[in-house]
Homo-oligomer: A and B are copies of this chain.
């Protein structure tokens, strides 16, 4: 078989604020790959099927000399991120051709993984598409579950405020929180998202672009639990209307990713209200909570009790557009790029 094109998404230019489609990353088709003869050196040749596009990736589109919790993407190299692929060839005894793997993949059509250290063999329930396994049944769902279980200390009747409540993490937090008997206030940035948050059980929903968060919290708070995906002024407002002994779960602060973090207005409230803040990364919590997630959450996705939305773009050349959409919040569900059908 002749070599075929191996399309790749390369990091091309460090964005000044928001990622710029066609500039920040570029889709490159200059490489080819010969499936049968490409040397694997003990590794695994994977056909990439689905890629997860997530807000945190903005932090990797930076200059390498700036330190952060994840390394910068190297300029000129393919992006990397979560995804699902199918094995075409394998020189690793633990996995054979035809198997599906989930984990860390390069943003290219075909990828040779040196080993399984960043991948896991995965099967799916026949009622769920593979895409769900990088969304509600994957990293975002596990993030919601592990963060909530580890840090919410939720007690029945308490009040939680969940930001980006229609997103892949926030929407799962809402549904898990409701199981704990918590009153849920949830915010998002469009009427369609507000409608979805209501459908999945949030008690108080609002569009933060048209409704003043302080008015809502004044009426519906004080809040015992705050799930932060946004930071900035919303975090300040949440602190103002926080109850004593409240828990603030710091999952992300997208308001700061593109134009810099806004300062926290009144850090004195942390001690004055005996507040607790918990930053976390899923990788650290996953070993502790993964089994419970499989047992408690995935069956509810299969049965349809837990709901989710997906926004699937087709083709690796769409990555640049999707990177911007998830920073602007214009995507309408878990942002996924379908690279290929099986």
A-to-B contact residues, CB < 8 Å: 59, 68-69, 228, 231, 235, 244-245, 250-253, 256, 261-281, 284
Contact = CB atoms under 8 A, between A and B. Distances in A.
B271 A280 contact: yes
Given A231-B267, A268-B253, A268-B261, A279 B274 contact: yes
Contact of A279 (B231, B235, B271, B278): B271
Given A263-B264, A264-B264, A279 B270 contact: yes
Contacts of A235: 267
B270 A68 contact: no
A265 B268 CA distance: 13
Given A231-B268, A256-B268, A268-B256, A274 B263 contact: no
Nearest to A253: B268
Given A253-B267, A263-B267, A265-B263, A279 B275 contact: yes
A69 B244 contact: yes
Given A263-B264, A264-B263, A276-B276, A271 B252 contact: yes
A267 B250 CA distance: 10
Contacts of A281: 274
A264 B275 CA distance: 15
A313 to B, nearest CB: 27
Contacts of A68: 272
Given A69-B244, A263-B263, A273 B268 contact: no
Interface centre among A253, A264, A279, by most chain B C-beta atoms within 10 angstroms, is A279
A30 B69 CA distance: 64
Nearest to A235: B267
Contact of A276 (B269, B274, B277): B277
Nearest to A70: B272
Nearest to A280: B274
A132 B172 CA distance: 53
Contact of A277 (B252, B263, B275, B280): B275
Interface centre among A68, A244, A261, A272, by most chain B C-beta atoms within 10 angstroms, is A272
Contacts of A277: 270, 275-277
Contacts of A268: 231, 253, 256, 261
A266 B255 CA distance: 12
Contacts of A271: 228, 250-253, 279-280
A272 B261 CA distance: 12
A32 to B, nearest CB: 39
A110 B256 CA distance: 56
Nearest to A281: B274
Given A235-B267, A268-B231, A276 B278 contact: yes
Given A256-B268, A262-B267, A277-B277, 18 more contacts: A69-B244, A69-B272, A69-B273, A69-B274, A231-B267, A245-B284, A251-B271, A253-B267, A253-B271, A261-B266, A261-B267, A263-B263, A263-B265, A263-B267, A264-B264, A274-B284, A275-B279, A276-B278
A115 to B, nearest CB: 25
Contacts of A276: 276-279
Nearest to A249: B271
A280 B244 CA distance: 10
